[in-house]
Amino acid sequence: MAEGGSAQGSTVAKETEAPTLSRVDIQRYSRQLVLPELRMRGQLRLSACSVLVVGCGGLGCPLAQYLAAAGVGRLGLVDHDVVELSNLHRQVLHRESRLGLSKAESAASALRELNSSVECEAYTLALNPSNATRLVEAYDIVADCSDNVATRYLVNDACVMAGKPLVSASALKMEGQLVVYNHRGGPCYRCLFPKPPPPETVTNCADGGVLGVVPGILGSLQALEVIKIASGMGTSFDRSMLLFDALEGRFRHIKLRPRNPDCAVCGEHPSVMALQDYEAFCGSSATDKCRTLHLLNGDERISVEEYKEILDGQALHVLVDVRPSVEVEICRLSHSFSVPLSKLEGKDEECLKTLCRTITEAKQRTNDGLSFPVYVVCKLGNDSQKAVRLLQGLSCDGLGTISVKDIKGGLVAWANKIDPEFPQY
């Protein structure tokens, strides 16, 4: 009887035994286990937590790397893109040997090498309204590392509807910001930004550039916030926005209002009850790739092939390159005349006089009375369209009529279709 009772007591003890870490886990995480803020309880919470990482780029790579290193139990990695050479200066999980491979698979492979006990699931797909709910509901915390407006609204709305905290960051040029949305009564993304910005005002890393370490810093801060939420330490940014200025080495906090009761998705009477067409809502595609604007009519534009014929025929004209001077330093067509778009928009008098003189001198070399052709080029064919609109109103003494058109696709199209040796950046 005593033996039977002892055996029964032993069984009960095993069934109610609290989860613990293995000897190997204790050794791996020893440096953070001894922190009073984390301790054993927090580490166990991390190992039981799952995080969906939307985007395996400049933000997602350092974020996922530190989450895997810290022992987060399960990571979902979402990215439809492939590894490119221009990614490697900031997307630190990828390697030259993985160029052309799926970013999600590349990141998952690197993380498994870092910590084989962490479950890494790669989703080689673009997040959209048909799959976002299923993915978000399968994880405890969501980290938005997407860096495009349409996906930010999509991820936000899916997190609100699923009741998941959202740790969101962005980085561009020498700046970055971080917010935790939909957590502890704090606002959601729509509370702060009810309407998306006009598409032509949005700049991404391909357009505006980014110093590689800047998304590294913001992605690491994202990881910190995820770890604090997952382990029970809390969060610092559910009621404030962190702004980072890399050039000045300065961090600033902006206090945020609580959840907006009139918010369309998280308010008291929401009007957005289901995920919608976010590309239509934002007027831009859900991609980090360079956007394409359509500001001009077809007869106001020419293709790179048509421009090549003009060059081959040695027809007199002026080619105006409206990229910033920093981009002109990288590469240029040798016969182009540099006039940054910012100077055209600012109506810089000296710049406009020089441009008028250049066009006038070129036109004087022709003997016909026809309008003189001026072509405008930029990197992608977006800024050049804006410049055409400005140059169509150009008035120069004695110049007469000019015909202004932009080159579709810009210098990227020139490199892809005409001169494969022309540098791309």
- Catalytic residue numbers? 205, 378
144 is in an annotated binding site: no
Residue 166 marked ligand-binding: no
Torsional sign, CA 356, 362, 365, 371: negative
The distance of Cα 272 from the centroid of its chain, to the nearest Å, equals 25
Helices (H), 21-124: 23-28, 30-33, 39-48, 60-70, 103-114
Q: How many CA atoms lie within 13 A of 300 on its CB side?
A: 15
Is 89 a known ligand-binding residue? yes
> Of 365, 386, 375, whose CA–CA distance to 411 is shortest?
375
Pairing of strands 166-172, 141-144: parallel
* Dihedral angle computed from the Cα positions of residues 83, 180, 71 and 39, in that order, rounded to the nearest 10 degrees: 160
Residues near 292 by beta carbon (within 8 Å), at least 6 away in sequence: 380, 381, 382
188 is in an annotated binding site: yes
Closest to 258 measured CA to CA, from 235, 239, 237, 234? 239
Is 257 marked within a binding site? Answer: no
Q: What are phi and psi of 54, to 5 degrees?
A: -95, 100
The annotation status of 183 as a binding-site residue, yes or no, is: no
* Sheet hosting strand 402-407, strand order edge to edge: 301-302, 402-407, 372-377, 318-321, 337-338
Residue 261 near residue 267 (C-beta atoms within 8 A): yes
Q: What tokens appear for 404 in the block?
A: 């202004």
Q: Taking Cα atoms as reference points, which of 191, 418, 164 lies closest to residue 308?
A: 418
How many helices and strands in the chain, by DSSP H and E? 18, 13
Check the annotation: does 191 bind a ligand.
yes
Q: Are strands 372-377 and 318-321 parallel, antiparallel or unpaired?
A: parallel
- Is position 266 annotated in a ligand binding site? yes
Would the annotation count 87 as a binding residue? yes
Residue set of the binding site for Zn(2+): 188, 191, 263, 266
Residue set of the binding site for ATP: 58, 79, 86-90, 103, 147-148
Residue set of the binding site: 58, 79, 86-90, 103, 147-148, 188, 191, 263, 266
